A and B are shown apart, each in its own frame.
Chain A
Amino acid sequence: MGKFLIRRAISSAIVFVISVVLVFMSIRILPGDPVLAKLGAATQVTPAALKALREAAGLNRPLLSQLFSWIWHAMQGNLGVSYFSQFPVTKLVGARIPVTLELTFFIILIAVILALIFAPLSSAKPGSLIDRVIGYVTSLGLSVPGFVIGIIFILIVSLKLQWLPSRGFVPLTTSVPQNLKLMILPSITGGLTATPYLVRYLRASMLEIKQSSFVRTAEGKGLSGARIMFRHILPNSLVPTLTMLGLIVGYTLSGVLVIEYMFGLPGIGSLAIESAFKRDYVVIQGVALTIIGFFILTTFLFDVLCGIVDPRLRVTKGQKSEA
């Protein structure tokens, strides 16, 4: 287990470092000057003033030195200061993380519940009408962009039926019911985009488990179909699905960006989009670092969790060939 942990931790760390460097470099290498963007409408900027601003922002130093000093500061929990609002990035990101986490939690919750309903239904009789209908709906779900689902919900639930508001946010600390009311539509929207992946994966792994000998034994013992499904097949197919869930959390974070923005939720996704409009690179970098870190951490945790639950998964490819 220890060896497995170290191996996974090292490969996660490598992926994290490369992706963070990629983000940093693409911001610096691409044209576009944050100082110019900051000055924006201000006219009559003297070249000297421009130079001073660049120096203050450290933009005249060599790329690698900028990269290392950014990483060095990031490790100390200092992600820099927004070019625009002059707030520390950690503060901006920190203030918005709870919203994103809450939304992500609800999205995953909804997706998991729906998957636990539809995957067993679908795999009970492969090829049956129910299975085919669920198959078509999941294919459809994989093709509909999240914001289109959001638009449909707003059109029906907010505009036609006027049940729920389409925009806005109330912090959990202010009012729990109001917060939840505003979270319903974004969560369902995100949940429905994540569900098809889970249903497909869970169905496939349930069908695989169905072939195994212990299921045949259970059938031979004369257990009821439902009991075999929920006591034998489902628990055993959850383990591979856990790995998938880790990935889905990651994809969800990507979708959350747009969902937050369209429903007006002040999470880190809308922070990233607002900063992109303002070209506030320091903030975008900070958000990217947070989201990537969160994504890699969740996939790592889910992998470790799977390794704990199912020792067979601890063997990595390299080890297998040695054995």
Chain B
Amino acid sequence: MKLKKHFSFSGALILTILGICLAAPIISPYDPYAIAVGDPFAGPSAAHWFGTDDLGRDLLSRVLYGGRITILIAMSATVIALIIGTLWGVTAGVRHGWVDEFLMRTADATMAIPQILFALVCISAVGASVVSLPLVVGILLSPTTARMARSAVVTELASDYVVAATASGLKRSRLILSEVLPNIAPQLLVQLSINAAAAVMLEATLSFIGLGIQPPNASWGTLMLQGYAQIWNSYWFVFFPAMSVTITILAFNAYGERIRVSLDSRRSSV
């Protein structure tokens, strides 16, 4: 019954996207790096569903493989943001006073730096790779996660069961780990989904301006950069990666929104 409640079109869409990207080596019709498998700049056809790029590579295969890189980076970044952000926010929420103040001011300050700018600074220093991009994106997304985690923890700590548990002598650390954290998990899941959308967007943006995944490897952002450079030669080149990015972000945002709405209705019905 619970499963049915959480089943949604957006959730199914996310699973489909993940599945397709995972299965890329099996289902992609061509080698994504093989050049001249078709004429350059060919439009969609039966042989090449998404057309071909400037070197005659099959775009469908490139988009499928690009999705693997984009999704991999986005998921790692999301996990990193979740770990850092939860630690950050829970620490701030549990400890009052100057620790809280300092941690939250730092979160404010980090959010005052435009994300792309901060990413530019870091990427220009360490270079873009499958390791540095998730780290940078993950760190960028952690302050919003921290704010959310903090407010959830503060609300939770004020509730009756916490008072009761404290009165019965339950250790604070135990209380946080085994009671409070599981209770804020649904809210963290909402944030996780929103973060995944933001991570896909950030990765695509960075790669689109040329500071992300470098050729010959290509994420969706890299493909868009290449397609944008060839926009006068082919409409399709830039179109399909752009659609893939947009649909993925939309699915993650919609899923997050859906869980939030079901959480709100559950809370108001109590």
Contacts and interface: CB of A to CB of B under 8 A. Distances in A.
A190 interface: no
B153 to A, nearest CB: 17
A273 B238 contact: no
Nearest to B204: A145
Interface stretch (A71-79, A115-123, A284-292): A284-292
Contacts of B110: 19, 22
Interface stretch (B25-33, B57-65, B169-177, B206-214): B206-214
A321 interface: no
In this complex, which of A148, A250, A254, A261 has the most chain B Cβ atoms within 10 angstroms of its Cβ?
A: A148
A262 B228 contact: yes
B231 A154 contact: yes
A53 interface: no
Nearest to B210: A277
Interface string A239-273: 00000000000110111011001100000000011
Interface stretch (B85-93, B118-126, B178-186): B118-126
A69 interface: no
A151 B238 contact: yes
B190 to A, nearest CB: 15
Contact of B125 (A30, A152, A257, A295): A30
Contact of B235 (A11, A148, A159, A255): A159
Interface stretch (B14-22, B70-78, B239-247): B239-247
A190 B232 CA distance: 22
What does DSSP make chain B's interface, helix, strand, loop or mixed?
A: helix
Given A30-B125, A288-B113, A142 B211 contact: no
B188 interface: no
B250 A140 contact: yes
Contacts of B116: 254-255, 257-258
A57 to B, nearest CB: 15
B106 interface: yes
Contacts of A258: 116, 205, 208-209
Nearest to A251: B114
B13 interface: no
Contacts of A143: 197, 246, 249-250, 253-254
Given A147-B205, A147-B208, A15 B105 contact: yes
Nearest to A18: B109
Interface in B94-143: 105-106, 108-110, 112-118, 120-127
Q: What size tier do the contact residues of chain B reach?
A: 35 or more
Contact of B114 (A26, A154, A250, A273): A250
Given A18-B109, A288-B113, A145 B246 contact: yes
A284 B121 contact: yes
Interface of A: 11, 14-16, 18-19, 22-23, 26-27, 30-32, 139-140, 142-145, 147-148, 151-152, 154-155, 159, 166, 250-251, 253-255, 257-258, 261-262, 272-273, 275-277, 279, 281, 284, 287-288, 291-292, 295-296
Given A32-B127, A152-B242, A288-B118, 17 more contacts: A18-B106, A23-B113, A27-B125, A142-B253, A143-B197, A143-B249, A144-B249, A145-B205, A145-B245, A254-B114, A254-B117, A262-B208, A272-B120, A276-B211, A279-B124, A291-B114, A292-B113
30 contacts: A14-B109, A15-B105, A19-B112, A30-B122, A30-B125, A31-B125, A32-B124, A139-B254, A140-B250, A143-B246, A143-B253, A145-B205, A148-B245, A148-B246, A151-B231, A250-B114, A251-B114, A254-B114, A254-B115, A254-B116, A258-B205, A273-B211, A279-B124, A281-B124, A281-B125, A284-B121, A288-B113, A288-B117, A291-B114, A296-B112
